[in-house]
Each structure stands twice: as C-alpha cells, then as structure tokens.
Structure 1
C-alpha cells in the first residue's frame, strides 16, 4: 500500500486541475467554433484547436502515467486470473467507441475542410455519444486494474467531463441542425443499445466492416506492444 503523503494528495488535486483545464479549453473551443470559423476559417480554427488541445492532452497523459499509483491502494487484483485479459478486452472495446470521430483523418489534419457531421451509422446506431461510453468503459477497466485513489479521482473527472459533453454536444447539434438533429435524436439513444432494443434503430454489420475500424484494432495492438516503452518514457519526465 502506498503512503498517503502530502505530495500524493496534491497529485490528486493537480490531476483534477489538469482535467478541468483540458475540459474548459476543449469544450470552450468547441462552443466557439461557429464564431471562430467565421473569423479564421475552418482549417485554421482546427489547427488552433489542435495546438491548444493536444499539448494539454499530452501533459494529462504523462502526469497520469507518472502518478497512477499515488494515494491509497483500495484493492489489488492484478494477480487474479483473468483480470489482465478482462482489462485489455475492455480497453480495446473502449477505443472502438472513443475514436469514431477520427475516421475522417484528412479533416483532423485540416487537409480537407473540417466539418461537423450529423450521422447515425455504425457506432452511432449503438449510442449517439460513443466517446462518453468509451471513456466510461476505459475508466472502469483502469480503475479495476490500478485500484488507487488517484485512479478513482481521475476516472470521476473524466466521466464528469464526458457527461457534460453529452449535454454540450446535443446543444451544439441542436443549434446547428435544428429539426434534422431532432430526427436523429429520436432514432438514436445515449444509453448503449437502447434505441436498438426499442426498435428505433437497427444494427448493420456491414457498416463496421470499414478500414477505419481495422485501424482502431491495429492501434490497440500497437498500444499493447508499446505500453512498456511508454511507461519507461513518461517516467523520465520529472512531473
């Protein structure tokens, strides 16, 4: 069990502060997108968005890696048979939900004109807010694996940010698309599979047979392979 020192308690508050900073920057820039694109253009605003969000995300990830065992060890199940496979399985599923928006890679890189897309295919048939669902699954997996108070605090912060993102995203879509969004909203659900169970939506397997989903699988495999190297690399950062 780790010692509960002042520095470790401070790391919990530091993580919450970093999460709050990222949430304000990310959601704030998303809210300002219509005005920002009028002033700067869609591509330049996407570059600005990336220049603000990506460094904050990198700082968050490095700090998380270096302090993930801070605080009290609430449970220890890493040696329990099957837990490692469960955590990796849940993590893989979480990425399938987390990154459907990155499929338009040319838009992400601002090579093609970035657009806000209103669609209800693929993963959206399961949930209208896949990033929120993916983040919750990721948090459950890593909280189970690490079992520390730092991880609990991190998970609560991430989940609260993404729950806010559900309201924030629906509000922005409503303002942008009006009745068209209302129609999509009526045919989709926030809770995974609820619209399918209700008969409002039908899963189509062929929509998941896309190179982009294969890319997510390859990414998870690479992450699994590089995970020890990432741990070593981030440990050299004195945060």
Structure 2
C-alpha cells in the first residue's frame, strides 16, 4: 500500500471512530447550542466579505468544490456575499470557466455594491427574487444549460415548506456525482426557544424538509460522512450526494 493510500485509510478510520463516539457528538451539539446566541458564525470573512458560516462547513465546501470541479454553483441566499465570493474564488483556483449564481429575495444595496466591486464578481451572476419563483428559476435553468457539473446550495428561508419547494425545484439541475447542500438543518437539533422571532423551529426547518425529500427522490442520498468528520456543522444530514442520472 502506498503512503498516500495509508494516510487515506488512517483518515477513514478516524472518521469511523468519530461516528462511534456518541459522547463527543453530544458535546459537539452542546457547543453549537451554547455558541449560537453569540452569533459565532458572523465572525468570519472570506476575501473581505462576511461569510456567516462555521469554519468546518467552509472546509467541507472547499473539499467538495475541489473534488467535483463544477461548471456552475447555484446558491439561494446571498446576504453579505461571502459565500458566493468563496465559491467563485474556488472556481478561480480551479482555473476553468466555472460560474456562480446567487439568488436572494432582497439583495441590499450596500451588499450589492461590495459584491459587484469584488475581483471575484467576474464569475458571479446575481438574481434578485424568490428562489421558488418560476421566473427566477427559468433564469437559472437557462444559465445551467450545457453545464456538465452543477452543484446547488440552499441557504435562504429555512421553513420546511420553502426548503422542500427549493429541493423539488432545483434538484433536477444537479448532476450525478455532484451535491445539493442544505444549510441550517441544525435548527432541528437546537432548543425549542432558539428562534423566537423566526417562522422556523423544531419540526419545521431544513432538516425536516430533507428527510421528506429523500423519501421520494432516489437520485439523492444523505452523505453521512460529513456529519461524522465535521462534528461541528450547521448542516447535519444536509450534504446530499446525487447518485442518479
């Protein structure tokens, strides 16, 4: 066995060990619960823009993008633009013609200015409108034509129905071997009173939408390895691998 293979096997065993450590999983969940009121994920930037993600998920996305080398990354939810700039920067490193589409119902003027003035904007298309609006989807579908590898990331309205509608709408665009990633599935695992001013919560969130979606769509499976290797993630059960044509 080569040294590279040996290391890969070691990592595989590490992840297996993590998957079996229930005490550590509980500690990880408790850490996320305790850090959430401090808005921990707001503390990080990517190439100058707030990314509002946990560092662990940023690393996971990097691994996926480098491995898949998508022609197109579609993300619902733009906010300050850090995530779409991150995706664009990864595609820039890959060095091919990859593009990013960012969709948001309200792209605030100050954020749009910063995104459009960023050096990575050359790879980005912004679409303002609801991610479940048919006219918005028609624009995205047109952009996705002739793309060989398409990846989708859902991070907008976190209610069950909205995310389920997004899953059903965007899933046909995802190509075999690529991913559809649903963020903030961790809402299901948080205390009941964690989101008092939001329309989502336990029983009504991205994770419940994922669970319903995979019951009827056999093109996607939940890639459990990400739950185990990251331990701290906003997307438990949210990394969906496309296994069907």
TM-score (norm 2): 0.28
- The structure richer in strand per residue is 2
- The structure richer in helix per residue is 1
Q: State the structure with bigger RCO (CA 8 A, min sep 6), 1 or 2.
A: 1
Question: Which has the higher Rg, Structure 1 or Structure 2?
Answer: 1
TM-score (norm 1): 0.29
